[in-house]
Amino acid sequence: GAGVSQTPSNKVTEKGKYVELRCDPISGHTALYWYRQSLGQGPEFLIYFQGTGAADDSGLPNDRFFAVRPEGSVSTLKIQRTERGDSAVYLCASSLGQGRGYTFGSGTRLTVV
C-alpha cells in the first residue's frame, strides 16, 4: 500500500482482557518496528523484525507482550492480561533498512479501563 496501515485506530478494552493490534507495512519494506508512545513522550521502542524474525525484542516490557510477522509482511502485536498501564498509542513503522527513515502509521490508541 501507499503507507503503513494500522488497525484498529482505537481500541478500548477491560483490564485483564487480551488484545491484538495489526500493522500492514509498505509493500517491499523488510524491516518492521513497533513503538509505544505515552502522552507527552517520544515513541519508545518495543520490537523490530527483519523479514519474519524478531531481530531485536529488547523493548518488550514483559512476557504479556508478544509480536509476530509470520509471512514477512503483516505484523500483529499481542497483549495478554491487559493492565491500565498498557494504555498508550501503539505505533508501527516500516523501512527499507540501510539507515533510511522509517515510515510510521497513525497508530492504535489503546485504552484499558
Q: Is residue 43 within the footprint of other proteins (CB under 8 A)?
A: yes
- Piece of 18-26, 54-62, 63-71, 74-82 that binds other proteins (CB under 8 A): 54-62
Q: Are 102 and 48 in contact (CB under 8 A)?
A: no
In the complex with other proteins, which residue's Cβ is closer, 7 or 106? 106
85: helix, coil or strand?
helix
C-alpha cell recorded at residue 47: 520490537
One of 33, 60, 73, 82 touching other proteins (CB under 8 A): 33
**34: β partners:** 47, 92
Residues 73-102 that bind other proteins (CB under 8 A): 91, 93, 95, 97-102
Closest CA to 11 of 68, 92, 105, 90: 90
Nearer to other proteins, 33 or 65 (CB): 33
- Cα torsion 42, 87, 77, 46 to 10°: value is 30
C-beta of 81: minimal distance to other proteins in Å?
26
- CA dihedral sign, ordered 53, 55, 61, 62: positive
59's grid cell = 523493548
The residue count for binding other proteins (CB under 8 A) is 29
| Residue ranges that bind other proteins, judged by CB under 8 A | 4, 30-31, 33, 40-45, 48, 50, 55-56, 59, 91, 93, 95, 97-107
